[in-house]
Structure 1
Amino acid sequence: MNLDILLVTIDAVLDALPEDIDKEHPERLKFIRDILGLVLTVRKLNTL
């Protein structure tokens, strides 16, 4: 499995989490999503 597939899979799993998880740990999930978004953006910029 390459890194791009892994990152997209993690993103999909985060999007599929139940709403109660979002309510219990909003700061943690926001931090994880922000880092994931940053990594995905850097990966896309490196391919240009």
Structure 2
Amino acid sequence: AFRLRRGSNVQDLRMLLVDDVLTTGSTLSECASVLRKVGALSVHAATVARG
């Protein structure tokens, strides 16, 4: 489970998640979901490799 650190504010921000290896995508998906729920304007992801 992921959550934002207390005092963090992503309201109306464009977020970029960076991960070294994408396997199932579940980690990025869960992080993106949390960010959208707390008000991120958009969430995109970039990975270095797929494994």
TM-score, scaled to structure 2 = 0.40
Instruction: Point out the structure with the larger strand share.
Output: 2
Instruction: Point out the structure with the larger helix share.
Output: 1
Quick check: which has more Rg, 1 or 2? 1
TM-score, scaled to structure 1 = 0.41
